[in-house]
Amino acid sequence: MSMEPFINIRRDLHQIPELGFKEFKTQQYLLDYIATLPQSNISIKTWRTGVIVRIAGSSASKMIGYRADIDGLPIEENTSYSFRSVHEGTMHACGHDVHMAIALGVLSHFAKEQPKDDLLFIFQPAEEGPGGAKPMLESEVLKDWWPDEMIALHIAPEYPVGTIATKEGLLFANTSELFIDFKGKGGHAAYPHTANDMVVAASHLVTQLQSIVARNVNPLDSGVVTIGVIQGGTKQNIIAETARLEGTMRSLSIESMVRMKQRVEALAKGIETGFDCQITIDYGSNYCQVYNHKESTAEFINFTSEQPSANLVICKEAMTGEDFGYFLEKIPGFMFWLGVGSEYGLHDSRLEPKEEAIVFAIQHLTQFLQFKMS
C-alpha cells in the first residue's frame, strides 16, 4: 500500500483545523475518504462531529478499538508550510492532523485486507475541549459497538521519528481547567476608598494559589497550578469592578486533585472576606488520568522491542492531559507517544511534525494489529 496518499491527507486536514464540536469540514473529509474504500466489511456511524467505523472480521472473537482525535486549537499558525491553515486563528498545533492520517492509513489497510477480528476506528471530536471522550462513551453510539480493548497514540515532538515511548500504569496526569471570576465595586482611581479593586484582589489570589503545590500537595506526589490569563479593568484611571483568572491544574493522583480544588476554594473564600467581593469558580473541562493497563501495554512493549525499525523508550509519566483516559477507565488498553522530531513543542504555533512518522506509525500499528489477531 502506497503511503504517499496519507501524507497528502495530513496536509489537507492541516489546512482545515476546527475547534471542538465544530469539526464539520473535518467530519465530511473523513466520510468522503472512507467512502472511497471497499465497503463490503465496513459499517459507519456518526456522533455529533465524530465518525466511528467498524470493520467486520472474518472470524471475530473480539473487537479492538483505535481512537484518533480530530479537533484543532485556537492558535494562529506560524509554520513554514505551504499548506498552512486556511482558518484564521485556528491550527492543528497538537498533531491531530497526523493522528487522523495515521488512523486512516491503518483503516485503509484492513478495509482492503479483512482482519480476523473486528476493528473499530473512532475519530473523536473535542479532545482539546470541552472533551468528547466522556460524552461519547455515555451516548448510545457505542452501545452495540463496545470494544474489548482500546489503543491510541499522541505525537511527541521531543522524540525522533521511529521512537515509541510508553509505560505501564500512569502515563498522563489528571487535569482540570480553572476559571475564577471576581465581582467588586468599580470607581475613580483618585477615590480608592469608595471602591473594591478586583485587579488587586485577583493579584493576591494569584500569589496565594502558588502555595497550593508547595504546601498542600504531598511532596512525594506531583501537582501543577498555572494561571495563564489574568484580565481586569478598562482604563488606567478606573478601578476595576471585575477581574478574571484562567488557568489549569494537574496532578498525578486523584487525591491530590481533590485536595488542590479544596484549597482553591478555601483561598478564594479568604479573598472574598478580605476584599469584600464575590468570587465564582468554574473548573471547566476535567480529564481523568491516562492509565495504561498492564497486560495490553506489556504486549505492545514486547512487540515493539522486537521490531528493528522501532526505538522503544520506557518513559516517565507526564503532566499532559488527554481525555482518552475516559476510554481506559472503561476499557482495557493503552496509549503511547510517537516521535515526530519537531524543534517546537505541542501547542506551539511553529510545530512541524516530520511526516515520515506517519509512514512509520501506519506500518507499525498495522503489523501490531496483525500480530494481536494471529
Backbone angles phi, psi at 185, to 5 degrees: -135, 120
Nearest to 189 by CA among 245, 234, 244, 243: 234
Tally the residues of the chain: 374
Instruction: Look up residue 97 and give its three cell numbers.
Output: 492532523
Q: Write down the catalytic residue from 18, 97, 128, 149.
A: 128
Pairing status of strand 242-251 against strand 174-183: antiparallel
Per DSSP, the residues of 306-326 read T-TT-EEEE---BS---TTHH
| 323 flagged as catalytic | no
Q: Write down the catalytic residue from 18, 69, 71, 322.
A: 69
**Cα torsion 165, 347, 282, 247: sign:** positive
| 181 flagged as catalytic | no
Per DSSP, the residues of 47-111 read ETTEEEEEE--SS-S-EEEEEEE---BS-------SS--SSTT-B--SSHHHHHHHHHHHHHHHH
Backbone angles phi, psi at 273, to 5 degrees: -70, -45
Residues labelled catalytic: 69, 128
